[in-house]
Amino acid sequence: MIVTVTLNTALDRSLTVPTLQLGQRHRASEVLTLAGGKGINVARALKRLDVPVVATGLAGGRTGTRIVEELTAEAILNDFVRIRDESRTSTLVVDPTSGRQTEINEWGPKVTETELGTLMDKLRYLSRGADSVVFAGSLPRGVSETFYAEAARELGRRGIRVALDAEGEPLRLGLDAEPWLVSPNQHEAEQLVGQELFDDEDFLMALDAIAELGARNVHITLEDGCFALVREERQVRRYRAIVPRLEPVSVVGAGDALLAQWITAMLEGTPVEDALRLAAAAGAASVLEVGAGRFDPAEARRLAAAVEVHELQAVS
């Protein structure tokens, strides 16, 4: 079983608005409402892969009730801590004519120490039967930037694989706990290493730098695949996975699908290069439909055959 943890849950509304123009009145051609937040998106992708998963985190107010109802409607097993303050709503506007996407995210709730303590108690209970725990997304107000580091360190002492997908200081501090995997996108990786990344040598440098900060394994996700550093049998190996060119419908959540498939493949003992093909293909398949974490596993398997995986040599 895999447990996903989303502290800053959201009710995600995706609006498809052809030929969007600011300052004009429009009518959406499609509207999709889903429970959201990066951990929930990972849980949704795991559900598509038929992997036992429990989504937990914080959910507050009427919006929190709606988030739980939406998860239940998707048959995603969940066990959230209810908090007093209102969970956020996020809006994504997709213009299919231009390919542009606009995200509007609320700040989210303020969390008390008591509510956070209740979440940790729940997480200790749920993780007893878990192979992996995934912490993903931003931290709401009132939660210390050390939260991921402290939680990952406690779980790591119990032999649980911890995956962390965050950004900024919570990610940087989280690396001190030596998580099994971190999965930043390019922008988040650039923040960590303090420079922009352009070519293979830049990304190889970034993989090694992030590993030196504490990560056991590293993914840097891109629109066309990922770079990866993988430790296996005391060896450190580096890879580049490239997906075939697609016309995306929505790129939001592609990294969440990639992360879900990678964890699944590694728990099943899939060879690393095959796991990377499957993971990159899941991320690619997810851009073909609106809704983070949604993808067709059959389409992902078809795309996997066209994913190129190259082993790279470390920069001297």
| Catalytic residue IDs | 256
CA-based torsion, 239, 244, 245, 251: positive or negative: negative
69 to 14, 20, 35, 138: CA distances (angstroms): 18, 31, 8, 22
Determine contact, residues 46/78, Cβ cutoff 8 Å.
no
- Reported as type and span, the H/E element at residue 48 is helix 38-48
Name residue 220's beta-bridge partners: 227
| Cα 112 to Cα 23, 82, 107, 115, distances in angstroms | 39, 12, 16, 5
d(CA 308, CA 291): 26
Burial pattern 27-41, b for ≥16 Cβ within 10 A else e, equals eeeeebebbbbbbbb
CB 105 within 8 A of CB 10: yes
> CA distances (Å), 194 to each of 138, 179, 205, 303, 316, in order?
20, 21, 11, 34, 20
Q: Dig out the tokens for 88 from the structure.
A: 């956020």
Rounded distance, CA 303 to CA 282, Å? 8
Query: Token match 């990304």: residue?
Result: 203
